[in-house]
Amino acid sequence: MKIMAQMAMVMNLDKCIGCATCSVTCKQTWTNRDGVEHIWFNNVETNPGVGYPARWEDQRRWRGGWRVDQSGRLCLRQGNKAERLARIFNNPEAPSLDDYYEPATYDYQRLIKAPLTGLTPVARPLSAITGEPMAIKFGPNWDDDLGGSALWAARDPDLEAIATKVELAFEQSFMFHLPRICEHCLNPACVAACPSGAMFKRVEDGIVLADQDKCRGFRMCVSACPYKKVYMNRLTGKAEKCTFCFPRIEEGQETVCSETCVGRLRYIGVILYDRDAVGALAAADNPLAACRSAMLDPHDPGVIAAAKSDGLPSDWLDAAQASPIYELAIRQLVALPLHPEYRTLPMVWYIPPLSPLLEATGAMGGDDTDADDIAATVTAMRIPLDYLAQLFAAGDQAAVAGSLMRLAAVRQHMRARSLGRDDSAAEAVGASPEDLERLYHLLAVAKRSDRFVIPKAHHESTAQVAAWAGGCPVGGGPGATRRKGRA
């Protein structure tokens, strides 16, 4: 047993309005350089939809993540080490710019410099890469708000997995946004696939990073990541990925995407896991249960003793005990991992959206504050439940229903409390009234210090961090300078 700490995130999807502020602030912080035009460490997708890169969830095409072979062994979907090294000269599964999109700008100068004629000048779209005129055909949130449209939603790989097809009902009632960053997995496929050993997971906080000096450009990480959250820099040919804003996290600050989220829907905290159990959990029969059991109880005396003997600082143990992530994912069972069946043990979890069901309850003449009515909707609307289960529970509809019913119970309980009525909402979902009130507090009125419980890094043991101060960790070297002829 080797207890380690992991920075984890939960996003409450009910609150996401799809404004993409997280994407923009992330881009301005991390990927506003030449060569990374197409890279979005954080992007917001509309579901059902194709996402970015288009159909990233289609692992038959991309072959990302892990699978369990006939003998029960965990191996990368891309094949064993020999098979992967045999294909070192090409990598058909790694996306190219054509699979992402061609970033574009507009010919704004034309608006100013066009000669005086009777016609209004038009700023044509230009490729942000070549500067040539182009037609914009796709982008990182191209299907923004078009989740219900047959054109885009029908191509969603998660929908293809659903047997029942009652598209009308789903079109009328179902759409939500899904902000995505790197999952900073406990069992990261990108790290396992990197031939150079440049991708690594940090011991102290579990953040997965790409060492720019060690990366040799074998681009195996890009295809191995099932979430398509490792990217190639176009100019340096090196891998870049979401850093979980580690320079901020080390100072106890939340990530940029979390800080700037206008819906305040993100939570960051520490969870404890057993490094020696990761392999077995990743290969477990039930991927969702495995993800849940990876998060150890920070109040368990055995865990505490092991964590202390493994050198976990006491302030980190305190943070793990106050973790909003453990509360939402394990104690309340409302947060669920994204595609646990990829077997990477992802560490960015989601509270599935209740609002489409509330809307449907109202439309069906029910009371959207009544847990029974919502329960009836949850059972009646098989498609949203099935769809959400494809996304967040490896197909386990009961787990999604459990999360949604508890969210509904919070609404009913709090309404009853403010009206001075008795209610049985808590009992119905197997919770205590205190549980529901704690959940209400965390979801509805939590302050910043409740949403982000981030212990500072112990820099006294990592003197070299000081050497990084002020330096751009991905800067320098060829390709970091701007090309001639472009502002």
Q: Rounded to 5 degrees, what angle do the CA atoms 233, 239, 240 make? A: 80
What is the nearest approach in angstroms of another protein to the Cβ of residue 393?
A: 25
Q: Which residues contact 399 (CB under 8 A, 6 or more apart)?
A: 288, 333, 336, 389, 392, 393
239 vs 401, which CB is nearer to another protein?
239
Residue 88: CB atoms within 10 Å = 11
CA–CA distance from 415 to each of 174, 292, 324, 425 (Å)?
25, 30, 24, 10
Residue 216 interacts with another protein (CB under 8 A)? yes
Q: Write down the least CB distance from residue 225 to another protein, Å.
A: 14
Nearer to another protein (CB atom), residue 131 or residue 430:
131
- Residue 241 in 3-state DSSP? strand
Token readout for 239 is 């891998």
Which member of 139, 157, 195, 395 binds another protein (CB under 8 A)? 195
Distance of closest approach, residue 70 Cβ to another protein, in angstroms: 19
Strand partners, 419: none
Q: Which residue has the tokens 């206008």?
A: 262
Closest approach, Cβ 212 to another protein, in A, equals 6
Burial 200-227 (b: 16+ CB within 10 A, else e): bbbebbbbbbbebeebeebbbbbbbbbb
Rounded to an integer, what is the distance from CA 330 to the centroid of its chain? 18
| Stretch in the footprint of another protein (CB under 8 A) among 162-170, 195-203, 427-435, 448-456 | 195-203
Q: Which two three-digit tokens encode residue 448?
A: 């910043």
Residues 99-128 that bind another protein (CB under 8 A): 99
Q: Scanning residues 283 to 342, which ones bind another protein (CB under 8 A)?
A: none
Distance in angstroms (rounded) separating the CA atoms of residues 4 and 307 = 7
* CB-nearer residue toward another protein: 430 or 476: 476
User: How many angstroms separate the CA atoms of 218 and 225, rounded?
Assistant: 14
Q: Whole-number minimum distance, CB 217 to another protein, in Å?
A: 4
* Residue 380 lies near another protein (rule: CB under 8 A): no
Contact between 91 and another protein per CB under 8 A: yes
- Chosen residue from 10, 26, 181, 215 binding another protein by CB under 8 A: 215
**What are the residues whose beta carbons fall under 8 Å from the beta carbon of 427, sequence distance 6 or more?**
none
H helix runs in 48-160, sequence order: 59-62, 81-86, 97-100, 108-113, 150-153, 157-160
- Please report how close the Cβ of residue 235 comes to another protein at its closest, in angstroms: 6
| CB contact set of 364 (below 8 Å; sequence gap of 6+) | 377, 380
Query: Minimum CB separation from another protein for residue 487, in Å?
Result: 16
Q: Is 31 in the site for another protein (CB under 8 A)?
A: no
* Shortest Cβ 448–another protein spacing (Å): 25
In the complex, what is the shortest distance from the CB of residue 172 to another protein, in angstroms, rounded to a whole number? 39
Give the Cα separation of 215 and 209 in Å (integer).
11
Mark 125-164 with x for binding to another protein (rule: CB under 8 A) and - for no binding.
----xx-x--------------------------------
Identified binder of another protein from the candidate list 235, 289, 333, 446, rule CB under 8 A: 235
Q: Which of 136, 151, 164, 197 binds another protein (CB under 8 A)?
A: 197
Distance from C-alpha of 412 to C-alpha of 406, rounded to nearest angstrom: 10
Closest alpha carbon to 487 in 233, 40, 108, 96: 108
Alpha carbon distance 417, 420 (integer Å) = 5
Nearer CB in complex with another protein: 282/393: 282
Smallest distance, Å, CB 96 to another protein?
4
- Closer Cβ to another protein, 70 or 464, answer by number: 464
16-24, 115-123, 387-395, 461-469 -> range binding another protein (CB under 8 A):
461-469
Nearer to another protein, 139 or 433 (CB): 139
Our finding on whether 192 is near another protein (CB under 8 A) is yes
Decide if 239 contacts 232 (C-beta within 8 A). Answer: yes
**Contact pick of 213, 285, 422, 434 for another protein (by CB under 8 A):** 213
Q: Is 79 in the site for another protein (CB under 8 A)?
A: no
3-class SS at 180? strand
List 218, 227, 326, 392, residue binding another protein (CB under 8 A): 218
**Where does this chain bind another protein (CB under 8 A)?**
38, 81-82, 85, 88-92, 94, 96-99, 129-130, 132, 187-188, 191-192, 194-197, 199-205, 212-219, 232-238, 250, 275, 278, 457, 462-465, 467-468, 476-478, 483
